[in-house]
């Protein structure tokens, strides 16, 4: 998949606008367009990996940067009451955009198990 075919690569490139929460050399985080909780942030590596399997196997630095960004966001967004991090993966996992992303969900009590 080329960058121009990938929605989140196009957001990284600035071709599609987003409401940014964090932007550094490795990671971009932005508000989800269809929030499932009062706080719903999508956190992505700027480099393209299809899913968490590719990211985990491919680049430990990028994977670590993604985790560090989630930590920064938890502080920045004042998520002291708790939050959930979700990596939907593949069809059974409900993944619709094939550029690995963490959902950070917060601002309400989240049920378990998920649907
Ligand atoms: P997935 O379903 O792959 O786990 O998550 C993809 C997420 O991207 C969804 O929650 C969806 O609402 C969000 N999304 C899809 N298109 C856009 C967009 O153009 N802008 C933003 N900010 N979020 C998007
Ligand atoms: Zn991409």
* Residue spans per domain, the chain: 7-106
pLDDT over 80 at 1, yes or no: no
Q: By three-state DSSP, how is residue 32 classified?
A: coil
Question: Is there an atom of ligand 1 within 6 Å of 91 CB?
Answer: no
3-class SS of residue 10: helix
Q: Whole-structure pTM over 0.75, yes or no?
A: yes
Distance CA 91, CA 64 (A): 25
Q: How far apart are CA 8 and CA 16, in angstroms?
A: 9
pLDDT, tens only, 20-62: 999 999 999 999 999 999 999 999 999 999 999 999 999 899 9
Cα distance between residue 27 and residue 108, in whole Å: 26
Reported as a single tens digit per residue, the pLDDT across 78-111 is 999 999 999 999 999 999 999 999 999 999 999 9
- Around ion ligand 2, which residues have CB less than 5 A away? 6, 8-9, 48, 99
What's the CATH number for 7-106?
3.30.428.10
Q: Which two tokens stand for residue 64?
A: 């670590």
Ligand nearest to the CA of 103: 1
Q: Say whether 101 is catalytic.
A: yes
């Amino acid at each position: 998949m080329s960058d121009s075919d990938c929605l989140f690569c196009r957001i990284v490139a600035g071709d599609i606008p987003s409401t940014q929460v964090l932007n550094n050399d490795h990671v971009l985080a932005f508000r989800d367009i269809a929030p499932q909780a009062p706080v719903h942030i999508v956190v992505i590596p700027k480099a393209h990996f299809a899913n968490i399997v590719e990211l985990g196997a491919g680049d430990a630095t990028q994977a670590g940067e993604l985790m560090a960004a989630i930590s920064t966001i938890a502080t920045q967004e004042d998520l002291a009451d708790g939050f959930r991090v979700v990596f939907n993966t593949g069809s059974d996992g409900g993944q619709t955009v094939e550029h690995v992303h963490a959902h950070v969900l917060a601002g309400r009590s989240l049920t378990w198990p998920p649907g």
